[in-house]
Amino acid sequence: MNKVIGLDLGDKQNVAVVFEEDGREHKAARITNTKSAMTKYFSQHSGAVVVMEAGTHSGWVSRLLLDMGHDVWVGNPRKLRAIWDSAKKSDERDARLLGLMYRLEPRLLHRIFHRGEKAQCDLAMIKSRQMLVKTRTKLINHVRCVVKGIGERISKCSSESFHKRAHLDIPASLSQALLPVVAQIEQLTENIKELDKKIKYVSETEYPETQILTQVNGVGPVTALAFVLTIEDASRFKRSRDVGCYLGLTPRRDQSGSTDKQLPITKQGNKYLRSLLVNCAHHIMGRFGKDCDLRRFGHRLAASGGKNAKRRAVVAVARKLSVLLHRVWVDKAIYEPLHNKKTLVA
């Protein structure tokens, strides 16, 4: 076994515990969490196996160590209960336990792989757009709530045109309080439009595979680019069905003996992409959705009855959509909205 280094990452300082090939353990070392300090320390341990948990800094740290020639293992924090659920938790203990886990059985770490730096930066553009949209929604709700408080209302309109409508409907008594907020909403709307243009341009020029995904009705440039950047490598999944599980869209299971409970989805994986796929599912099943196999599948589930039939149908459509997008991406195929009907007729 090669030299193993358990690494606990902190915001300002990291802790490393080194295990030699024969199992001898060195005293824990503290390293400033900067690229220069990390490079200086790990250059003394060439070719080592470095084990860490996924977190805020694990992305750039793992890329740095890989470039230095180390074998990097990033563990899934959800699976490492022995680390985070301890009565005697400390940075040194966490680093030691990570190293011991690898030496005992590497599969206990449930290894994950970080996306590349470029993909992370491009994905940050999509997440910045999400934050701007959330902020605009909060400001719009604030304006509407304040106006309702004095017995008036702002007419229904889209978020993009809210600042135009608000100028007409805000009472004079509230103009000093709310017009600055409306100005911010207008600026946010312009920023969101600019990001939409950049996202579309990046999708078309740098990620041509997104054009294959946007064939599906309800999938736009934002969802397509987020899907490609999150998955990054389509070949990492042997079966397209595994994508739904990876994104947390499959039900949890708690089976014992004759008991097999019906549980909600796991909600593991990328939360933002999961929400985008659910929004796409709402569009597909909504009044503006075009006739397709996904829409028919969702409506059949929703019509089956039950208290939460519609919600379960939307999640099921989102899961099938994730599988479909991966399959279309891998095969580089032309999407056929009514493929099942065509097969039945044949």
Strand partners, 50: 5, 72
pLDDT at 78: 86
Q: What is the mean pLDDT of the chain?
A: 91
Q: Which residues in 216-238 are b (16+ Cβ under 10 Å) and which e?
A: bbbbbbbbbbbbbbbbeebeebe
Over residues 34-56, mean pLDDT: 95
Strand partners, 21: none
Q: Which residues in 34-52 are b (16+ Cβ under 10 Å) and which e?
A: eeeebeebbeebeebbbbb
DSSP3 helix / strand / coil % (the chain, rounded to 5): 55, 10, 35
Cα 276 to Cα 26, 127, 221, 222: the distances in Å are 47, 12, 11, 9
Residue 333 is classified by DSSP as P
- Tell me the pLDDT tens digit for each residue of 296-343: 999 999 988 776 888 889 999 999 999 999 999 999 988 888 877 655
For residues 223 and 240, give the distance between their C-alpha atoms in angstroms, rounded to a whole number: 18
Strand partners, 53: 75
Q: 265: pLDDT confidence band, cut at 50, 70 and 90?
A: confident
- DSSP codes of every residue in 151-168: T--PPP--STTHHHHHHH
- Tell me the pLDDT tens digit for each residue of 112-153: 989 889 999 999 999 999 999 999 999 999 999 999 999 999
User: At 16, which helix (H) or strand (E)?
Assistant: strand 13-19
Cβ pair 1, 103 in contact under 8 A: yes
Between 159 and 269, the higher pLDDT residue? 159
pLDDT at 34: 96
Residue 27 is classified by DSSP as P
- Tell me the pLDDT tens digit for each residue of 66-94: 999 999 999 999 889 888 888 889 999 99
Cα 261 to Cα 174, 201, 242: the distances in Å are 54, 46, 22
pLDDT exceeds cutoff 80 at 346? no
pLDDT exceeds cutoff 50 at 280? yes
